[in-house]
Amino acid sequence: MFSIGDLVVHPMHGAGVIDSIVQERIAGVAQAYYVFKMPMGGLVLKIPVANSEAIGVRPIVSPEEAEELIRTIPSLEIDTNSNWNKRYQENMQRLKSGDLYEVARVIRTLMHREKRRGLSTGERKMLHNAKQIMISEIVLSEKAEYKDIEARVDRAMMQTAS
């Protein structure tokens, strides 16, 4: 269970803070909810406490883990599947996993595909969302500026493994 003030990540929305925990009655059933606020974009979500683990809500990574991720990005595998539908579904599963390395792999694959062939509207939106998910977590972990982390991530994404 999380506490007010905890920095957490929602797999499909990115990193934020538990602003409060409220009790609400929906369809006659009282349930506790985390009120999750994202500093980037101002999104506010209510996440059922009982379902938060199943949804994939987890604490943010440490600054050391964030740095290791950025160092590892150039060596992440790029998916070259040419079937758009299959590629989109696989990328969506990676995002839903909540694993930051899988999110980074989606970003790396889509950035390289965009450079070579361009992206569909759906993939362009997915790239934008995946970058926000990853960058929002690193920003909170390292207490850094969004634009600085975005520049570092973009540079790492376009490097080749050495």
Separation in Å, CA 110 to CA 17, 20, 27, 52, 96: 28, 36, 42, 29, 16
Start-to-end C-alpha separation, the chain: 41
**For residue range 8-46, what is the model confidence (pLDDT) as tens digits?**
999 999 999 999 999 999 888 899 999 999 987 788 999
**pLDDT class of 83 with cuts at 50, 70, 90:** confident
Q: How far apart are the C-alpha atoms of 41 and 70, rounded to whole Å?
A: 23
**For residue range 94-141, what is the model confidence (pLDDT) as tens digits?**
999 989 999 999 999 999 899 888 888 999 999 999 999 999 999 999
Secondary structure E strands in the chain? 7-10, 14-26, 29-37, 44-48, 58-59
Half-sphere exposure of 24 (CA within 13 A, CB side): 13
Output the pTM of the full model: 0.89
Structure tokens at 38: 């994202």
**Number of residues that make up the chain:** 162
